[in-house]
């Protein structure tokens, strides 16, 4: 989540939200307000279906934390009892958060504290969160170097927590392609995607195309899947195709592809 005919390999990175509903699904009702509290002020709030779902944006004047709070609810005059839509929130630093809004009688959870790690990307390309340095790893590396040289003052300590991307070399690509794909898939999710986000839904099954990445003449597709159905989803049964999409054309074609690594 290879098409030899096209001379490209298609690799897919799938989300871990399989077989269960994820916490990214927010329940919204007509009689209650679902409160979202973000780590910083909100810059933009976009609702896919704003005919029923309503978001109260922070007012220009308010308390100290007013700019960080978003209130969600459903139109009381609406007649539908079931509905879904997507909701995107962008904060002042450029962090982007994606949610699914679900209409329900009474939300199971009314207040959500959104962490920076929940952001799917940053518009400006900045890091979404700072990762603490593993001091234990630093000390272990220094200790190993001292044991080898016998003189700490002359030793050249290695960089702690060697970046796994540095191990995804051409040599690894030749000797262990699957490990190379695994490393690339993991770290490419933090890169800037080369395609706009795409969202689709079938019943209670939701799919996002989070990004498309290019490396070594190969394409990497990153998906996020949320399964709200009662049955588990087997990703091995997902079919992938590449196709043309010309409007009002009878010559559109589809070519089925088999992923190299999921």
For the chain, the domain total comes to 2
Which tens digits make up the pLDDT trace of 135-170?
343 344 334 444 434 443 444 334 333 454 555 577
- The pLDDT of residue 197 is 62
Residue range(s) defining the domain that contains residue 178:
135-186
Better-predicted residue by pLDDT, 92 or 235: 92
Which tens digits make up the pLDDT trace of 22-61?
348 899 999 999 999 999 999 999 998 878 899 988 776 6
Quick one: pLDDT band at residue 220, thresholds 50, 70, 90?
Answer: confident
Q: Is residue 169 situated within a structural domain?
A: yes
Quick one: 197 and 116 in the same domain?
A: yes
- Name residues whose C-beta falls within 8 Å of residue 140's C-beta, 6 or more positions apart in sequence: none
CA–CA gap between residue 6 and residue 149 (Å, rounded): 52
Quick one: 168 and 198 in the same domain?
A: no
- The pLDDT of residue 248 is 73
CA–CA gap between residue 180 and residue 160 (Å, rounded): 21
Instruction: Look at the pTM and tell me if it is higher than 0.85.
Output: no
Quick one: 95 and 14 in the same domain?
A: yes
Quick one: 27 and 62 in the same domain?
A: yes
CB 26, CB 36: distance < 8 Å: yes
Q: Is residue 26 situated within a structural domain?
A: yes
CB 249, CB 243: distance < 8 Å: no
Quick one: 25 and 119 in the same domain?
A: yes
């Amino acid at each position: 989540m290879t098409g030899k005919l096209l001379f490209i390999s298609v690799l897919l990175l799938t989300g871990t939200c399989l077989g269960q509903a994820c916490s990214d699904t927010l329940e919204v009702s007509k009689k209650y307000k679902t409160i979202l509290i973000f780590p910083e002020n909100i810059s933009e709030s976009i609702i896919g279906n704003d005919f029923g779902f309503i978001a109260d944006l922070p007012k220009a004047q308010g308390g100290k934390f007013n700019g960080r709070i978003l209130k969600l609810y459903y139109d009381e005059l609406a007649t539908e009892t079931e509905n879904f839509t997507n909701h995107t929130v962008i904060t002042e630093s450029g962090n982007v958060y994606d949610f699914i809004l679900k209409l329900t009688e009474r939300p199971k959870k009314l207040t959500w504290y959104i962490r920076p790690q929940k952001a799917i990307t940053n518009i400006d390309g900045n890091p979404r969160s700072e990762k603490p340095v593993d001091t234990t790893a630093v000390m272990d590396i220094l200790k190993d170097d001292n044991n080898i040289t016998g003189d700490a003052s002359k030793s050249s300590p290695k960089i702690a927590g060697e970046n796994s991307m540095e191990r995804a070399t051409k040599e690894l690509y030749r000797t262990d392609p699957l490990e190379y794909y695994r490393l690339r898939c993991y770290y490419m999710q933090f890169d800037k995607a080369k395609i706009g986000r795409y969202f689709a839904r079938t019943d209670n099954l939701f799919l996002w195309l989070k990004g498309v990445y290019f490396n070594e003449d190969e394409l990497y597709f990153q998906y996020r899947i949320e399964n709200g159905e009662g049955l588990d989803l087997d990703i091995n049964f997902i079919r992938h195709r590449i196709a043309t999409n010309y409007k009002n054309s009878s010559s559109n074609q589809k070519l089925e592809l088999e992923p190299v690594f999921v």
